[in-house]
A and B are shown apart, each in its own frame.
Chain A
Amino acid sequence: DAGVIQSPRHEVTEMGQEVTLRCKPISGHDYLFWYRQTMMRGLELLIYFNNNVPIDDSGMPEDRFSAKMPNASFSTLKIQPSEPRDSAVYFCASSPTNPTGQGLYYEQYFGPGTRLTVT
């Protein structure tokens, strides 16, 4: 498997523009996570999906951020309108479900990230 795939790897945009980040999880994984990493705040969970359904979006900073997962192999994170403070590295990760169903889970596998710069 190619691992978690993210695109684009780098994005530079002007304030006010719409930005769409894309993620393809590992085939067979039913959890998908979006994270943001900055020097000031470290790695923060924004939202995660289970079987394409958003489970917890409490980390999404504000209404300008939205995420979708239309099918098991694709997810998007959209920022509209973008602001300079959104500049960060955005990671997507996926994980399979523990087959015993005891509420435990396997490791999360991370993509290479998208470095977003908003000027």
Chain B
Amino acid sequence: KQEVTQIPAALSVPEGENLVLNCSFTDSAIYNLQWFRQDPGKGLTSLLLIQSSQREQTSGRLNASLDKSSGRSTLYIAASQPGDSATYLCAVSTGTASKLTFGTGTRLQVTL
């Protein structure tokens, strides 16, 4: 059974810092990995999707990498801003390409 772990569970950083969020998964036979953002009381917003054949994806200040063989992914956020404060979730699809297993999330707070 696929298990997804995210470290740290919570993180507080001052504005402007670069930061890395970590995601690890136990079954490396994945179709893809997706990073989401969730704001309090809201749904999930997809940030980046990495197919299993890819090593990384970039969108603006966000960069996600994937090392499938070691079962790890990182989300790098450059020059953090207070608006980046949210919970970040990673999810992997295994078994069938449509079935996602989510991590427990990292709650990020960016302070002024």
Q: Could you tell me if A91 and B44 are in contact, using CB atoms closer than 8 angstroms?
A: yes
Residue of B nearest to A9 (CB): B41
Q: How far is the CA of A109 from the CA of B106 in the complex (A)?
A: 20
Restricting to B56-100, which residues have a CB under 8 Å from any CB of A? 89, 91, 93, 96-100
Which of A12-20, A40-48, A80-88 makes up part of the contact surface? A40-48
Contact residues in A for B91 (Cβ distance below 8 Å): 43
Q: How far is the CA of A4 from the CA of B99 in the complex (A)?
A: 18
Does A34 belong to the interface (CB within 8 Å)? Answer: no
Q: How far is the CA of A118 from the CA of B45 in the complex (A)?
A: 27
A105 partner, pick from B43, B45, B97, B103, beta carbons under 8 A: B97
Interface residues on B, range: 20 to 34
Residue from A4, A55, A103, A108 having most chain B Cβ neighbours under 10 A: A108
Does A2 belong to the interface (CB within 8 Å)? Answer: no
Q: What total of A-B pairs shows CB separation below 8 Å?
A: 57
Contact residues in A for B105 (Cβ distance below 8 Å): 42
Does B25 belong to the interface (CB within 8 Å)? Answer: no
Contact residues in A for B89 (Cβ distance below 8 Å): 43
Q: Could you tell me if A50 and B98 are in contact, using CB atoms closer than 8 angstroms?
A: yes
Classify the secondary structure of B's interface with A: strand
Restricting to B26-74, which residues have a CB under 8 Å from any CB of A? 31-32, 34, 36, 42-46, 49, 51
Q: Could you tell me if B99 and A107 are in contact, using CB atoms closer than 8 angstroms?
A: no
Contact residues in A for B102 (Cβ distance below 8 Å): 42-44
A107 partner, pick from B31, B49, B103, beta carbons under 8 A: B49
Q: Could you tell me if B49 and A106 are in contact, using CB atoms closer than 8 angstroms?
A: yes
Which of B's residues lie within 8 Å of A, judged by CB? 31-32, 34, 36, 42-46, 49, 51, 89, 91, 93, 96-105
Instruction: Known pairs A95-B98, A105-B31; list 11 more (Cβ under 8 Å).
Output: A33-B100, A42-B103, A44-B102, A45-B99, A56-B99, A104-B32, A105-B32, A107-B34, A110-B45, A110-B46, A111-B43
